[in-house]
Amino acid sequence: MVEILKPVKKVDLGDAADLSTKMGNDDVAASLVTFCATWESGGAFLADCAATLADGLEAANGHYEDTDEAIRDAVKSVKTALA
């Protein structure tokens, strides 16, 4: 899951916004530019959130593995002492 979340790309709607001037209607063009800018901003925010969550999941996984290894070592130690 971490591998899925980390390579999140930024949303780039610059080309679509550039096409807005070819529509012939200034109101439509302005609306499209605003729409594209809003989606780029929202996409960037979501990508940053996903990257932060991925980092948190990766850290939690590391803690889980460390704890699991410590428990296994403790069990082996007890088995050795009782043998």
pLDDT in tens, 6-53: 555 666 666 766 666 676 777 777 788 888 888 888 888 888 888 888
Closest CA to 44 of 4, 12, 3: 12
How many angstroms separate the Cα of 1 from the Cα of each of 4, 9, 28? 5, 16, 40
Which amino acid is residue 43, in one-letter code? G
Q: Residue 54: give the domain boundaries.
A: 2-82
The angle at the Cα of 48, spanning 64 to 11, to the nearest 5 degrees, equals 135
Q: What is the pLDDT of residues 42-60, one digit of tens each?
A: 888 888 888 888 889 999 9
Rg of the chain on CA atoms, in Å: 25
CB-facing half-sphere around the CA of 31: CA atoms within 13 A: 6
Give residue 78's pLDDT: 93
Give residue 38's pLDDT: 86
pTM: 0.54
